Amino acid sequence: MLSATARSIVYAVAMAHSGVRGGFSVVLVEMAYVTLTAGLYAGMQQKALGFRSKLWGNLTVVFGVPCLAQALDWLTHWAAGAAVPGKATLAVSVFTTVSALFHLHVMRRGVFLTGRRGQTLLEDFRHMPRLLAGFVVEPVRFLSAMIVRLARNAESEAAL
């Protein structure tokens, strides 16, 4: 339900700015599609965490599953006659990528998992403030480390 609600809000906002008629039908199709498929895609992402190659698992979680979901989402809208404008598709694709990155971030830390590896939803939500902060700070740490490495390389080359 969280995924369906969030994606539908993104569609609704994008549709409101597109000026296309029939926006409500697009949002309804989106809610139905995501409600029916979110668990399947989340399960596929969780399964990818177990890949031997962590890189392939990460790529599957962040790009593979979302691309499959987005393609089938587009087909569902097309089949239902609820065409989605390009701006709305772009907005949802960006949202889906950020959402997948966050999903990877929390799943790698044991949250929003099912089965033996999972915990209660309430317990998962208790971890959200720390996980959200970590998700925001992690790119800053990554870029800082990269800048430090580049500076060290430049210093060592200058010393030669």
Same domain, 69 and 136: no
How much is the pLDDT for 137? Answer: 94
Q: Which of 51-55, 86-90, 111-115, 142-146 has the highest mean pLDDT?
A: 51-55
Same domain, 64 and 107: yes
DSSP state of 118: -
Q: What is the mean pLDDT of residues 1-23?
A: 67
Same domain, 150 and 105: no
| Residue with token string 């498929």 | 37
pLDDT of residue 7 exceeding 80: no
Same domain, 6 and 70: yes
Q: Which two tokens stand for residue 49?
A: 């965490």
Same domain, 89 and 131: no
Amino acid at 157: E
Same domain, 89 and 12: yes
Same domain, 52 and 131: no
Q: Report d(CA 5, CA 113) in Å as an integer.
A: 20
How many DSSP H helices and E strands does the chain contain?
7, 0
Q: Is residue 152 part of a domain?
A: yes
pLDDT of residue 88 exceeding 90: no
Q: Report d(CA 8, CA 154) in Å as an integer.
A: 48
Q: Is residue 120 part of a domain?
A: no
Residue 78 lies in domain: 2-112
- Its pTM stands at 0.73
How much is the pLDDT for 58? Answer: 95
Same domain, 32 and 105: yes
Same domain, 33 and 79: yes
- Residue 71: exposure state from Cβ atoms within 10 A (0-12, 13-18, ≥19): exposed
Domain count within the chain: 2
